[in-house]
Chains A and B, each alone.
Chain A
Amino acid sequence: MGANDYMRDPISSLLKNYATLLYIFLYAPIALVVLFSFNSGNYAADLQGFSFRWYGETWRDPFVLEAFGNSIFIATTSATLATIFGTLAALALQNVRGWLRTVYDSLIYIAIIIPGIVIGIATLIFFVQFFGWLNPILQNLFGPTAPRLNLGMPTIIAAHALFTMSIVLVIVRSRIAGMDRSLIEASSDLYATPFNTFWQVTLPQLFPAIMAGFLLAFTFSFDDFIVAFFVAGPNTTLPIYVFSSIRRGVTPKINTIATVTLIVSLSFLFITQNLLTRSNARARTPDKE
């Protein structure tokens, strides 16, 4: 093939330079944020010298710490729920055909594709209506000391689990599709009970995909701003804190928070990628042509 002729022609080098420029365009802004997080000066946009000063200041800020703690808690809990619900549903959907399958496929894609703001509004309205209906009942049952349900961390967790569950479902389902079935058959031929087969054969094969789903769900929840903005009530998450600080004026603290957030997502992404590559390497299904 003429692959080598291609390499030397002017269009190729033009395309290569163009691609380089686009990669700079994609990464330079992020790199600048990281660079400025090590600024020693008082202002966010004025580079003075290298220091960890703002990391220290950010770490001592009780509001940042609270928001960070909330975000970690919300992301861990919602990703755990999403992973369990998504994996169970992916296993069940193997046996589902017909209209129910169509309904499910539509729900999964709707949850993934619709903008976060629509999920934010919908869940806000649902919770407010639902609590407005449930609270009087609780008051009647338990008297005035009954707990009043309100918007807060549990509502953020529930709303995040809705769309992260769909991501887990898609990942685990594609792994199930590429799974080596001969092992399952071998296991039942060797008189393993269905439960043992699941526990000892199916689950270990699915594990990398499940783990990858969990990590992506965590990242999504940790980075989400818009859904939490609607259903957070009085609580703050890290993105909500960052957003409201930006509105009050850009400070060096935002750069350090941004850098830490990027490190969290990038390391999770890196692990996810490794897990998925390893799990898919054996089970690559040939393209249907």
Chain B
Amino acid sequence: MTVSTRKTKLTTALLLAPASLWYLLLLVAPLVIVTIFSFGERAPEGGYAAAFTFEQYLKLPTRSTPFINTLWLASLGTFFCIILAYPLAYYLATRASAQMKSILVALIIVPFWTSFLIRTYAWITILSSRGIPAILERLGLVQDLVLLNTPFAITLGIVYNYLPLMTFPLYVSLERLDKRLLEASKDLGANRWGTFWQVTFPLSAPGLITGSMLVFILLMGEYLIPALLGGGKIFFVGNALVDLFLQSRNWPFGSAVSMALNFIMLVIISLYLWLTSRLGGEGREEVSLF
């Protein structure tokens, strides 16, 4: 008995070894190093010089614009994702026929698994002066409309790229909704509007929260959308990080910016866990995208 238990333990340890090594070296150790770096100084030739100072954190307000841009446009983008995704998810969960449903849901997920770069790139020509502005001008509706390299283009890019990620969890929670509750609400005299706000919407809250959290967290590290559709004019934290690590090579300050970003994400995840626990665990079921 003890021999076999020991053998099982050894096997388990061996099987876990490669994955553990990877997590330890490429996830845990780097995050520790970033923490250490954030208290360091910039070496004259770029990179890191050992020190213990709060200088980098005190300098953070000089980069407040990327943080404000990110938080503001990520909130706006998440909001529009909810507005657009909810009716779609509702349609899929309550009205689509059984045969069509699986195909329609698959069609929502497919774009999410294709190249993010290409999906963002696709909008450059559409929004450029030869695209939508040219069409609208020919129709005589507008003059000298600029869409590319504006906050509008970035918000559109966000909505386009993250809509699937919002729709899917919403669909899952609406789909699980017990249809008998709707009938009960109807029998008790509620009209359709009342049933929606008092029964359907509250019960879809877990999906709404999960979707918003996923979208918002990923947007915190967004780099490509502002780089390609914002024309480098509107900086996100991601763009500031690329600049600090790859161009100006100010690693300690970059680490401090990265720590601030990690902190924001930690707050969002804690908020998410708190909200789902208040909802009585319904939201805790993982929404799998695979």
A residues near B, CB below 8 A? 1, 6-7, 11-12, 15-16, 18-19, 22-23, 25-27, 29-30, 32-33, 36, 44-46, 84-86, 88-89, 91-93, 95-96, 107, 110-111, 113-119, 121-126, 128-129, 158-159, 161-162, 165, 167, 169-171, 174, 212, 216, 219, 223, 225-226, 229-230, 239, 242-243, 246, 250, 254, 258, 261-262, 265-266, 269, 273, 276, 287
Contacts and interface: CB of A to CB of B under 8 A. Distances in A.
Contact of A126 (B12, B29, B114, B251): B29
Contact of B18 (A23, A25, A88): A88
B103 to A, nearest CB: 11
Contacts of B88: 18-19, 22
Interface stretch (B19-27, B52-60, B135-143, B197-205): B19-27
A243 B88 CA distance: 32
Contact of B290 (A92, A107, A170, A223): A170
Interface string B89-111: 01110111000000010111011
Contacts of B223: 117, 226
The 3 A-B pairs of least Cβ separation, nearest first, read: A115-B221, A122-B30, A92-B15
A115 B192 CA distance: 40
B241 interface: yes
B241 A88 contact: no
Interface residues of B, number: 83
Interface string B110-121: 110111111101
Contact of A33 (B96, B122, B176, B214): B122
SS class, residues of chain B in contact with chain A: helix
User: Most chain-A CB neighbours within 10 Å: which of B117, B220, B242, B251?
Assistant: B117
A32 B122 contact: yes
B88 to A, nearest CB: 5
14 contacts: A22-B84, A45-B128, A88-B19, A89-B15, A96-B16, A107-B27, A115-B238, A117-B241, A119-B27, A129-B33, A159-B26, A162-B27, A265-B113, A287-B176
Interface of B: 8, 11-13, 15-16, 18-20, 22-23, 25-31, 33-34, 37, 47, 84, 87-88, 90-92, 94-96, 104, 106-108, 110-111, 113-119, 121-126, 128, 130-131, 160, 163-164, 176, 179, 192, 214, 217-218, 220-224, 228, 238, 241-242, 245-246, 251, 254-255, 258, 261-262, 265, 269, 288, 290
Contacts of A276: 290
B101 to A, nearest CB: 12
A271 B37 CA distance: 44
Contact of A250 (B110, B124, B241, B290): B124
B25 A174 contact: no
Nearest to B129: A45
A261 B118 contact: yes
A122 B117 contact: no
Nearest to A43: B130
Contacts of A29: 119, 122-123, 126, 160
Contacts of A89: 15-16, 18-20
